[in-house]
């Protein structure tokens, strides 16, 4: 299979920023409840942080190494960085304009105030002064910059203040500059008592309090300027697969260094003097293009707490109660219900509780002899992990594949691995060079006639909190062939040997890529032969060049292709003679679209697969992933009618991709609005 020419592909980094633009648009949407708009602003900040920590950090490493390799779309690392920098600066300027000129005034109109220094009355100023001396000053450590006090090590994404000073201190020193680091334990936003604030919800930024009283830290000297700053660092962890003997031990040694990787971005308040900005850039070995001057707090992520503190349901999304599937609503024996037929779960519209029940009942059931599960992201207070610990304590054979290299969840996973090992569970860390990203749980139960296998396969993580925020599908089954494949996969991961042929599952890194290509090519052949042919695929990202080439060929053969790609898509839709028959749309709304669904018309014998994998190089070749078929006709119809058709119909939260890689938001005609997520809430939740 040939790969597409560079001019037919969209750059990955710019595609990611296009997605961030769509997230930012949610904060700008007056139809979104006001406090949720503030959350989207924070989510945008958090996403951009990770983009710099990983993607921009990678580009800068390539530039430093003078790497000659070009991206699939033909750009050098330096060209990509230049384009990314321009786009990111524009987005950040848009973000702060939205915060200052739209969201803050709108919150104030609702009685929710961010009280700036220039607005404090006498009572507020007195309360803040007392708060500074009581809560802040005892934990602040100012560092004067002189030969005895070099520039301090600054933690990744921490809040700091650069202070310009004049005069001499008690020792006669007059270095003229100091740094004050705000400990992470300090809140970045403080809720002022209503009787002092003059409103129920009055908030003060930590930065405002420090600005007002930073002089107290430098007795006898004059503060000429005080400027917030924040540095973002390369946060990818380096573990040498060939040299590492104990992955957990190696990671534990690496994690503390994440906070001190190479700097990639410097954020400063917009009032920062040019001299101080230049000085800070020099300290972090950054260029002027790496500087982001921001009109407001340099870390808007920390405002995410504010909506939780404000009891205004009218300014938030309406609450909902996830439903239970009918077959699980009455009978408490989940294994008996699975024996009656496969059970499909559609989160967050349907509850994640059956997945927890599946493991908890297995842990407590004396007939269960073994439990095996993969763990990618599960959280720090996981009921599932607690159930696995209880199962091991009761003498069951418990095997857990813990992915220690799940980015930004490494520490939580290390902790769970240690706790599981302490109670006698078998803990393995997957396969060297391949992250275990498949979402699988297997229960082996002794029943009349011998051992019987039950499995849960999913598109999302075993994480109860994100199951209320992400859209995902899960399947509970005791299908003999499907569960046999799950057993084989666990055996591959935990043991040694050749990969056996799977009966039901497509699996990375062995068959998933070739099966997806074959399914696309089959649709092209059917279209050429005049048979029904169509592809609908829903995923987070589409980047793999050979899959894109196959989709282009299928389009040219006449296959109608609908792609629902939440994030970055390298394929260019709607190009005459190449991708006329391909439409790409992205849904960005209340819930994070996370499910992966692959539909092939297959000449009328429809195939539907659910998967943990996006169509990316890493998922096909450097991860252990699965795609599993939905075989029950009723459940297959449900996946199509709930997971695909509503998203193709959506004209509220849908963005249509243009051939140049930009996106245009769909607008309803004649007031006939249809929002997929809202419709699914009405259909499935209680």
134/510 Cα distance (integer angstroms) = 61
Nearest to 409 by CA among 255, 512, 532, 547: 255
Asked about 437 being catalytic, the answer comes back as yes
What is the distance of C-alpha 617 from the center of its chain? 18
Bridging pattern class, strands 141-144 and 177-181: antiparallel
Task: Give phi and psi for 85, each to the nearest 5.
Answer: -60, -45
The full DSSP string for 512-570 is HHHHHHHHHHHHHHHHHTT---EEEEEES-B--HHHHHHHHHHHHTT-EEEEEESS-B-
Those residues whose C-beta lies under 8 Å from the C-beta of residue 172, and which sit 6 or more positions away, are none
Cα–Cα–Cα angle for 647, 652, 655, rounded to 5 degrees: 70
Coil, strand or helix: which one is 154? coil
Cα dihedral sign, 414-415-418-424? negative
Those residues whose C-beta lies under 8 Å from the C-beta of residue 590, and which sit 6 or more positions away, are 36, 317, 677
Cα–Cα–Cα angle for 386, 392, 396, rounded to 5 degrees: 130
Cis peptide bond N-terminal to 541, omega within 30: no
Q: What's 431's DSSP letter?
A: B
Q: What's 406's DSSP letter?
A: S
Give buried/exposed letters for 597-614 (b at 16+ CB in 10 A, else e). bbbbbbeeebbbbbbbbb
The full DSSP string for 318-355 is PP--PBPPHHHHS---HHHHHHHS-EEEEETTB-SHHH
Tally of CA atoms within 13 A in the half-sphere of 41 that contains its CB = 32
Q: Report residue 94 as tokens.
A: 């848009």
Nearest to 34 by CA among 326, 315, 335: 315
Tokens 């009283």 correspond to 213
What is the distance of C-alpha 360 from the center of its chain? 27
The residue annotated as part of the active site, out of 113, 213, 437, 594, is 437
What do you get for the CA distance between the two ends of the chain, in Å? Answer: 48
478/443 Cα distance (integer angstroms) = 10
What residues are annotated to the active site? 437
């Amino acid at each position: 299979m040939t790969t597409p020419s560079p001019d037919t592909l969209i750059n990955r980094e710019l595609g990611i920023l296009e997605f961030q633009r769509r997230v930012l648009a949610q904060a700008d949407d007056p139809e979104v409840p006001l406090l949720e708009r503030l959350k989207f602003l924070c989510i945008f900040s958090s996403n951009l942080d990770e983009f710099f920590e990983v993607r921009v950090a990678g580009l800068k490493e390539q530039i430093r190494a003078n790497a000659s390799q070009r991206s699939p779309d033909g750009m050098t690392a330096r060209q990509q960085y230049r384009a990314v920098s321009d786009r990111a600066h524009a987005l950040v300027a848009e973000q702060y304009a939205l915060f200052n000129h739209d969201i803050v005034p709108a919150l104030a109109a609702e009685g929710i105030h961010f009280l700036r220094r220039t607005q404090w009355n006498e009572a507020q100023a007195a309360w803040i002064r007392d708060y500074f001396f009581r809560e802040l000053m005892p934990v602040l450590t100012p560092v004067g910059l002189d030969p005895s006090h070099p520039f301090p090590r600054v933690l990744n994404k921490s809040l700091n203040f650069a202070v310009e000073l004049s005069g001499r201190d008690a020792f006669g020193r007059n270095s003229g500059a100091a740094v004050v680091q705000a400990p992470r334990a300090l809140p970045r936003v403080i809720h002022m008592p209503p009787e002092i604030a003059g409103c129920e919800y009055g908030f003060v930024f930590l930065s405002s309090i420090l600005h007002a009283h930073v002089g107290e830290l430098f007795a006898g000297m004059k503060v000429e300027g005080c400027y917030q700053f924040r540095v973002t660092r390369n946060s990818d962890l380096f573990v040498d697969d060939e040299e590492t003997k104990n992955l957990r031990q190696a990671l534990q040694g690496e994690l503390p260094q994440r906070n001190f990787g190479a700097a990639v971005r410097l954020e400063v308040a917009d009032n920062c003097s040019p001299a101080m900005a230049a000085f800070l850039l020099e300290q972090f070995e950054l260029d002027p293009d790496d500087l982001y001057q921001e009109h407001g707090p340099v870390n808007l992520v920390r405002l995410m707490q504010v909506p939780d503190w404000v009891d205004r349901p009218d300014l938030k999304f309406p609450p909902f109660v996830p439903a239970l599937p009918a077959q699980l609503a009455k009978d408490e024996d989940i294994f008996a219900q699975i024996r009656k037929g496969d059970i499909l779960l559609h989160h967050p519209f349907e509850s994640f509780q059956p997945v927890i029940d599946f493991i908890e009942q297995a842990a407590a059931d004396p007939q269960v002899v073994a439990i095996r599960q993969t763990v990618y992201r599960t959280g720090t207070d996981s009921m599932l992990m607690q159930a696995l610990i209880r199962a091991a304590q009761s003498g069951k054979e418990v095997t857990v594949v813990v992915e220690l290299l799940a980015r930004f969840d490494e520490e939580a996973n290390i902790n769970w691995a240690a706790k599981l090992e302490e109670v006698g569970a078998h803990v393995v860390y997957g396969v060297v060079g391949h992250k275990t990203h498949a979402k699988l749980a297997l229960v082996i139960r002794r029943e009349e006639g011998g051992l019987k296998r039950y499995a849960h396969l999913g598109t999302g993580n075993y994480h109860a909190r994100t199951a209320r925020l992400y859209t995902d599908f899960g399947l509970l089954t005791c299908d003999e062939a499907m569960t046999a494949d799950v057993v084989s996969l666990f055996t591959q991961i935990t043991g040694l040997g050749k990969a056996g042929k799977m009966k039901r599952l497509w699996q990375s890194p062995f068959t998933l890529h070739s099966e997806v290509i074959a399914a696309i090519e089959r649709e092209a052949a059917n279209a050429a032969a005049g048979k029904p042919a169509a592809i609908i695929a829903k995923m987070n990202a589409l980047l793999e060049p050979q899959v894109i080439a196959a989709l282009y060929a299928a389009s040219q053969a006449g296959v109608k292709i609908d792609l629902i790609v939440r994030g970055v898509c390298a394929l260019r839709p709607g190009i005459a003679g190449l991708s006329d028959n391909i439409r790409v749309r992205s849904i960005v709304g209340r819930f994070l679209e996370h499910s992966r669904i692959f539909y092939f018309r297959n000449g009328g014998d429809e195939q539907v697969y659910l998967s943990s994998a996006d169509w990316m190089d890493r998922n096909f070749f450097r991860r252990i992933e699965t795609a599993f078929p939905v075989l029950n006709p009723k459940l297959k119809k449900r996946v199509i009618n709930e997971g695909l058709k509503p998203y193709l119909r959506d004209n509220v939260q849908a963005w249509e991709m243009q051939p140049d890689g930009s996106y245009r938001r769909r607008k309803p005609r004649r007031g006939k609005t249809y929002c997929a997520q809202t419709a699914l809430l009405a259909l499935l939740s209680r």
